[in-house]
């Protein structure tokens, strides 16, 4: 397995897609139930393969990531061959931008002395999706890029 297995809730949301996945392998619902009962290791493998396929599809489509911590915001634009990043560092330890109040403060004070910005670009090492997945495991979430776009305009990049 390359990524992680989907959760029970994710499988429930994707039950129709999973049924189509099984159908492409000529496995009917009755056969699937029999496999689960008699060959649980095969069922586990099928769940893992499907999970990896779903992750590959999601990661291929991902364009932006955000990771918001109390004193930092990490914003990434995911290009084909590299990623661009913006890091926002909060110098005032009393501010926590992961809260509504702290984020509101940042919106009003991003140009002040208590906020620093850093930018960078980085080529992917080998596997784009693997690097994106590792960022997600570290707490990043896939977004539509509104924050990245907003701060990118401010930084005039």
Per-residue pLDDT tens digits for 92-122:
999 999 999 999 999 999 999 999 999 999 9
Instruction: Please provide the average confidence, as pLDDT, over all residues in the chain.
Output: 95
- State the average pLDDT over residues 122-134: 94
The tens digit of pLDDT for each residue in 56-93 reads 999 999 999 999 999 999 999 999 999 999 999 999 99
Provide the residue ranges of all domains of the chain, joining segments of one domain with +: 8-61, 64-155
Residue 157 has pLDDT above 80, yes or no: no
Q: 85-98 b/e with 16+ CB inside 10 Å = b?
A: bbbbebeeeebbbe
Angstrom distance (rounded) from CA 63 to CA 154: 20
User: What's the CA dihedral at 122, 127, 130, 136 to 10 degrees?
Assistant: 30
Q: Specify which residues 146 forms β-bridges with.
A: none
pLDDT of 126 reads 85
């Amino acid at each position: 397995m390359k990524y992680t297995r989907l959760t029970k809730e994710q499988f429930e949301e994707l039950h129709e897609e999973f049924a189509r996945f099984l159908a492409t392998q000529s496995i009917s619902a009755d056969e699937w139930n029999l496999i689960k009962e008699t060959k649980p290791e095969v069922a586990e493998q099928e769940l893992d393969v499907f999970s990896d396929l779903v992750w590959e599809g999601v990661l291929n489509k991902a364009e932006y990531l955000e990771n918001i911590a109390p004193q930092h915001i990490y914003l990434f634009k995911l290009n084909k061959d590299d990623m661009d990043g913006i890091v926002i560092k909060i110098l005032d330890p009393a501010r926590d931008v992961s809260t509504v109040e702290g984020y509101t403060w940042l919106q009003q004070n991003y140009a002040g002395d208590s906020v620093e910005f850093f930018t960078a670009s980085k080529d992917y090492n080998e596997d784009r999706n693997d690097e994106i997945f590792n960022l997600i495991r570290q707490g990043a979430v896939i977004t539509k890029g509104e924050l990245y776009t907003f701060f990118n305009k401010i930084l005039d990049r």
